[in-house]
Amino acid sequence: LSGSTAYITLPSVVVAGPPGAGKTAFITRLERRDPKPATTYTSQTNNVVELAINEDGTSKYSDDLDASGAVAKKFLMVDTPGHGKLRGATLARLASASSTAETKLRAIVYMVDSAALAEDGGIAAAASYLYEILLALQKRMSAGKSSKAPSAIPVLVAANKADLFTALPAALIKTQLEAELGRIRTSRSKGLLSSGVGADDVDSANENDDWLGEYGSKSFNFAQMREFDTEVAVIAGNVVGDDASGPGLDKWWRWIADKM
């Protein structure tokens, strides 16, 4: 991937999230401009597709801009593997975007399976990876030593599979993720205190390094990420199924088009 020059020159969106969320199905549908569900397999590597929106950002994902001869803004969408052992590369990519103020990374789509979130451990699994991503973005903004602030990288929590009747609604997903992220933050700070490192040994610049959001606040909410110039939106949708079975993916597409 790092050898791809196109990846470096065009603006890009990274799609991340737990396994089975529908990331590959989503990116395949956008690439083919076809609502027919694609057969997907557990991803082991990144998969990059080139997409386009028209100049004023109003085109639909299903519009064929080449055929219509419209002037298009091109961008890349990067599908990443959700498996826990394969997340390192995705997080490293966010970290490397942190060393440069000018990054082509314009947005992150964090996709979750809204029905799996209703199951035991579903929220915890979705929140732990999201914590890593938000923390990487937060560090990126607070590490900036140059006078020029790094460009903001907003996050869309795409609550997928809204077509399933067991899917949790987006508003509930938002509050449950916030609560779980808050729990992770608390347990991490306790881990630091009980690790035997005395308070004096901790570098003051690093001691709140793993604390997500407003330092010392009792509970976490996504609005706290604004302090680090990171906007988080939670929007429901579905990749599979016709538009009658759920909200579809138009709202996600609009959100993405808006960031390009």
Nearer to Mg ion, 33 or 83 (CB): 83
Q: Is 239 near ligand GTP (CB under 6 A)?
A: yes
- 246's tokens: 């759920």
Least distance in angstroms from the C-beta of 241 to ligand GTP: 6
110-to-100, 129, 193 alpha-carbon distances in Å: 22, 9, 31
Q: Is 185 near ligand GTP (CB under 6 A)?
A: no
Nearer to ligand GTP, 138 or 160 (CB): 160
**Within 10 A of 241 (CB to CB), how many other CB atoms are there?**
15
Nearer to Mg ion, 30 or 65 (CB): 30
For ligand GTP, the binding residues in 13-52 under the rule CB under 6 A are 17, 19-25, 37, 40, 42-43
Contact in structure between 155 and 205 (CB atoms under 8 Å): no
Q: Is 43 near Mg ion (CB under 5 A)?
A: yes
Place of tokens 């881990």: 191
* Sheet (strand 232-236) strand order: 47-54, 72-79, 12-16, 105-113, 155-160, 232-236
Q: Binding residues for ligand GTP, how many (CB under 6 A)?
A: 23
Q: What is the residue-wise DSSP string for 62-87?
A: T--HHHHT--EEEEEEEE---SGGG-
Q: Is 12 near ligand GTP (CB under 6 A)?
A: no
For ligand GTP, the binding residues in 119-178 under the rule CB under 6 A are 160-161, 163-164
Contact set with ligand GTP (CB under 6 A): 17, 19-25, 37, 40, 42-43, 81-83, 160-161, 163-164, 238-241
